[in-house]
Homo-oligomer: A and B are copies of this chain.
Amino acid sequence: MSAPTPLLIDGLQCGPYDRTVFEQLRAGGVTCATATIAFWEDAVESMDALVRWHDLIDANSDLVVQATTAADIEQARADGRTAILLGAQNASPLQSRLGFVRLFHNMGLRVMQLTYNNNNEFGGSCYEETDPGLGRFGREIVTEMNAVGILVDLSHCGERTRREAIEHATLPVAVTHANPRSLYDHPRNVGDDTLRALAERGGVLGLATYHSISGKYAATLDDWCRMVTETVELMGVDHVAIGTDLSPKAGPAEFDWMRRGRWTRAEQRGADLGAGAPPEVTGPTEWLADASGLAAVAGHLTARFGFAPEEAEAVTGGNWLRLYRTVFAGT
């Protein structure tokens, strides 16, 4: 029996997916990737997305398998397939029903962001002028997500909502795809105090490779691994992971849906803040056009940045696996 491939988990990706993308995941040695099934979609639309995922996984079962537990991820690794965890970048699938948390858990959803780009009934978004914090309904769903075993994701939340959710949750939570604001100042990124609170409670930050929120750290693998190193200094090696936000097949229609959804007819630039953005914003991430480039991360962290092999593996997968194991068990 051959030794298992190194543990490599990408805590957040976006679609669309097809066989080519699955082949890229295999080429990157990716053990597990969390795929986004919803940005603004409501309950039935999210159920439609789950069905499309079932069909897609069934048609590519030599490459991928759906995971709903940490054990599923380990089994996929042993089998040489990439485990797909299904998550939502908004709590919109709940369609304002507390009880739908359990139903979406029943249906296999394991990660849910509380808010996307606008404030909602649960809490505040990083892109609104005012973040009211985790609201009355928000507290209810965080408790419910903890109870049934869905990971609370705070990536697009406002800073106050992030802090209040970390505080309110009784299990560790995650920021699956963002960077430290002290390294790159952007509303999507997270303040140092919040990151320390996240780590103190056992949570994990998935560092993004997306250029708009990584700036100078997006240019090369070496630049990005420097961000990993600096974030590990801030939070500790047990709380930093990968959350690329990769969407290699997304085109204008997908970005338009992410940014404008059904809430506005006006142009929206999303994380690309346009003329007011810091000057070091670069174009597309050249070192990581798709997931195949992830294979190089662990080796680069050990060879160039002095990570011990077990430290590199914590960052590339071990921290996500620990968090998933803890959180998916529920309270």
Which residues of A come within 8 Å of B, CB atoms? 40, 42, 92, 95-99, 118-121, 124, 127-133, 135-137, 140, 261-265
> Which residue of the partner chain B has the closest CB to A121?
B120
- The list of the 6 closest CB pairs from A to B, nearest first, reads A130-B132, A132-B132, A97-B262, A137-B263, A120-B121, A119-B135
Task: Tell me whether A132 and B124 are in contact (CB under 8 A).
Answer: yes
Which of B99, B127, B263 contacts A262, CB < 8 Å?
A: B99
Task: Tell me whether B99 and A140 are in contact (CB under 8 A).
Answer: no
Rounded to whole angstroms, the CA-CA distance of A186 and B124 in the bound complex is 25
Task: Tell me whether B96 and A42 are in contact (CB under 8 A).
Answer: yes
With A130-B132, A132-B128, A132-B130 already in contact, the answer to whether A121 and B42 are too (CB < 8 A) is no
With A140-B264, A263-B140, A264-B137 already in contact, the answer to whether A119 and B132 are too (CB < 8 A) is yes
Rounded to whole angstroms, the CA-CA distance of A137 and B127 in the bound complex is 12
Number of identical monomers bound together in the oligomeric complex: 2
- 12 A-B pairs in the complex with CB atoms less than 8 angstroms apart: A42-B95, A95-B95, A96-B261, A98-B265, A119-B121, A120-B121, A127-B136, A128-B136, A129-B132, A132-B132, A137-B263, A140-B265
Rounded to whole angstroms, the CA-CA distance of A264 and B99 in the bound complex is 9
> Inside 8 A of A265's CB, which chain B residues have their CB?
98, 140
With A42-B95, A120-B121, A262-B96 already in contact, the answer to whether A133 and B129 are too (CB < 8 A) is yes
> Inside 8 A of A135's CB, which chain B residues have their CB?
118-119, 128-129
Q: How far is the CB of A120 from chain B (nearest CB, A)?
A: 5
Rounded to whole angstroms, the CA-CA distance of A40 and B129 in the bound complex is 26
> Inside 8 A of A40's CB, which chain B residues have their CB?
96
Task: Tell me whether B121 and A263 are in contact (CB under 8 A).
Answer: yes
Rounded to whole angstroms, the CA-CA distance of A262 and B98 in the bound complex is 6
> Inside 8 A of A119's CB, which chain B residues have their CB?
119, 121, 132, 135-137
Rounded to whole angstroms, the CA-CA distance of A140 and B118 in the bound complex is 12
Q: How far is the CB of A119 from chain B (nearest CB, A)?
A: 5
Rounded to whole angstroms, the CA-CA distance of A121 and B224 in the bound complex is 35
> Inside 8 A of A127's CB, which chain B residues have their CB?
136
Task: Tell me whether B121 and A136 are in contact (CB under 8 A).
Answer: no
Q: How far is the CB of A289 from chain B (nearest CB, A)?
A: 32
Rounded to whole angstroms, the CA-CA distance of A92 and B96 in the bound complex is 9
Rounded to whole angstroms, the CA-CA distance of A198 and B184 in the bound complex is 43
> Which residue of the partner chain B has the closest CB to A116?
B121
Rounded to whole angstroms, the CA-CA distance of A42 and B100 in the bound complex is 14
Q: How far is the CB of A276 from chain B (nearest CB, A)?
A: 17
Q: How far is the CB of A140 from chain B (nearest CB, A)?
A: 5
